[in-house]
A = this chain, B = another copy of it.
Amino acid sequence: MLAEIITIGDEILIGQIVDTNSAWMARQLNLIGVSVKQISSVSDDEQHILNALAEAEQRADIILITGGLGPTKDDITKKTLAKYFNMGFRRDEGALDMVRQIFEKYKRPLIDINMQQADVPEGCEVIINKNGTAPCMWFEQNKKIFVSMPGVPYEMMYLMDDEILPRIKSRFKLPSIVHKTILTANIGESFLAKELEEIEDSLPAYIKLAYLPKLGQVRLRLSAKGENESLLKTEVENFAQKIIAKIKKFVVVDEDVQVEKAILDIMKNEGLTLSTAESCTGGYIAHLITQHPGCSSVYWGGAVAYAYELKESILGVQEGTLTKFGAVSKETVIEMAEGAIKHFKTDYSIAVSGIAGPDGGTEDKPVGTVWIAISSKNKTLAKVFNFSNKRIQNIERSASSALVMLLNLLKEDLHKE
């Protein structure tokens, strides 16, 4: 069972927005055993959309389309679908009712352009969108399914979760897909590949190993596809254990979770608390942690101490330390981490101070120099990194390295007990 995703909208092709919808949809489809063959972003142009639909129809069984359903003139997806399927229009009463409800809720007058949101190609099945005025449309032709959804992420997500995925599951007999991810750090892709060469060569054809490097980490992903899910799981798990045994000291966590989620899970389990003291990462570590539901039982909060004054007043860093060693120094980052433990009263803390760039670098401390400290009640560990990337990447790599340092320390501490 193959799917394709087509996202429609000039805003993607001029780079004004990043298409995050496709990755989310692809993940959900894979989980139910539908492989995504291709993801295409095309412009708000009739002929281009028609061609993309025809090409996708040749390759895939289900074509999921997002975007171009707004009420304004640049949105032409609905008209183009009607042309593709050679259909006229009808006004859908259910969809119109939803439009009315939404306008009543926000106490806004209903104008004609909004009522037209309920006009749909006559041969499609309408699936009501509870979160917006553009209805979802389900088309079938030559045993192929086409679904058109709005491009607004949360509208699309609700529709996929509540309507589209359940329909696909009940409609088709889907193969099982089993993934297993092992997150590694402190080793390059090619060295991993050399270490794992023999294991990789021994994999059967229906199990694949992929290397996904990102921000100083490499994710190893085993993927198996077949009929018998429990057998696949056993096989994949066996290969995963062989891999883990071979590269043990580089393994950060053996599931497909972000590092900060692995940290939260361990700390919650152990009843431990965490705080942050961020300078160059500017709240990004806090943001990564607080994306996860339920983080509040572990994460108490922290400081974004950009200015010297805040490093002193919130974290208790000594003025003398800042003037003598500078904000980006071992001495400062240790005082930041220990200050967080002391003032925020948590079991562990993370502190980061560095030069994210593009300005602020010196010969001694070029852009990308980052000091990271992890502190617990008994000890503080500090390390310097040299990322030498652009600003955003320096911030991301700093956060990633700090989280890996914390996770490793946590595992060490728990292992000792």
Contact = CB atoms under 8 A, between A and B. Distances in A.
Interface of A: 10-20, 22-30, 35-44, 48, 52, 55, 70-74, 108, 111, 113-114, 133, 152-154, 157, 179, 188-194, 200, 208-214, 219, 221, 223, 256, 275-276, 278, 280-287, 289-291, 293-296, 299-307, 309-310, 313-314, 343-345, 356-359, 389-393, 395
One complex includes copies of this chain to the number of 2
A114 B14 contact: no
Given A290-B282, A304-B283, A28 B15 contact: yes
A150 B393 CA distance: 16
14 contacts: A10-B210, A15-B23, A16-B27, A18-B19, A19-B39, A70-B211, A73-B193, A73-B200, A111-B191, A283-B287, A283-B304, A290-B395, A301-B310, A302-B310
A254 B403 CA distance: 39
Given A40-B40, A283-B286, 11 more contacts: A12-B26, A15-B28, A15-B36, A18-B19, A19-B22, A38-B42, A114-B190, A282-B287, A282-B291, A283-B287, A309-B345
Contacts of A390: 154, 157
A291 B345 CA distance: 29
Contacts of A275: 310
Chain A interface mostly: mixed
A281 B290 CA distance: 8
A74 B307 contact: no
B221 A16 contact: yes
A401 to B, nearest CB: 15
A324 to B, nearest CB: 21
Contacts of A309: 300, 344-345
A44 B221 CA distance: 14
A211 B283 contact: no
Given A194-B111, A300-B310, A344-B313, A14 B287 contact: no
B283 A190 contact: no
B10 A15 contact: no
Contacts of A188: 108
B208 A74 contact: yes
Given A193-B113, A310-B344, A14 B30 contact: yes
A290 B304 contact: yes
Contacts of A14: 26-27, 30, 36, 179, 223
Given A18-B18, A37-B43, A287 B287 contact: yes
A359 B289 CA distance: 16
A401 B70 CA distance: 22
Contacts of A310: 275, 300-302, 344
Contact of A293 (B157, B301, B313, B359): B359
